[in-house]
Amino acid sequence: MRPTLNDTGFMFQKRDAYADDFIAFAGSCAEPVLEVGCAYGVATQPALTAGARVVACDLDQRHLDILWDETPPDDRDRLEIVQGQLPYVDFAAEHFGAILCSRVLHFLDGSAIDASVRKMFRWLKPAGRLYLVADTPYGIWRNFVPTFEAKLARGDRWPGLMIALENWLPRSSSTANRPIKGPPFMNLLVPELMVRCCEEAGFRIERSGFIDRSDFGGLGSMDGRENAGVLAIKPA
């Protein structure tokens, strides 16, 4: 885990299957691809190695500067870095062949998630691919599971909205009184909520499901539902 510089968590350097599929597709894609929330480029770097043209976008310019410095000089002519934040950043319509937005949406409120997915639909060319990955309540936030499941059962549109993170993160006796650095809230997701957002934006769902990230480790046993992923296709 490589800490980010803006107190929003970590970039996990072990990729999941959605990121690997994005990288493989990017290497054979005639159009440029986009990684949103790239941090230090966990998917951007191997996509460049595969031969892709990549736009790497992150809210923190420091991450992008590090990514640029760590990119081999021979690959830099196929890398564009853009400082920006969802849902405010914008790109040209029908510009990208694929977009990876991994572990970003759970930092947004519901209206921002919907707006971001609609924007990504517009940015993709017809038949373009959208790869989404987000945190669920079943990983380190499992203290929130009863609250989440009760809200989901009663039909709340955003049951994963979690404020005052220190109330939900597992704490040991030695860390109970330490302040937690992090975002003011998180909006935890599960596959069905991500599918809904994509379908409402006009996407066709190729696949969706939970992602086993038991390799997170360090905070007790995991159950294989730590992240949620969706691969959505813009109709041709």
| pLDDT 10s digits, 11-42 | 566 889 999 999 999 999 999 999 999 988 99
Question: How much is the pLDDT for 7?
Answer: 60
Place of tokens 């007790």: 220
Strands 161-163 and 185-187: antiparallel
- Domain extent listing, the chain: 2-137+188-233
Kindly state the helix (H) or strand (E) to which residue 186 belongs, with its residue range.
strand 185-187
What is the CATH architecture of 2-137+188-233? 3-Layer(aba) Sandwich (3.40)
Residue 165: what pLDDT?
Answer: 84
**Nearest 10 degrees: Cα torsion 228, 46, 118, 103:** 40
Over 90: is that where the pLDDT of 103 sits?
yes
**Any idea which of 56-70, 152-166, 210-224 has the lowest mean pLDDT?**
210-224
The answer for 115, left when phi > 0, alpha when psi is -120 to 50, beta otherwise, is: alpha
Residue pLDDT, tens place only, 64-88: 999 999 999 999 999 999 999 999 9
Could you tell me the CA-to-CA distances from 95 to 30, 77, 99 in Å, in that order? 11, 18, 10
pTM equals 0.91
Task: Say how far apart CA 145 and CA 153 lie, in whole Å.
Answer: 12
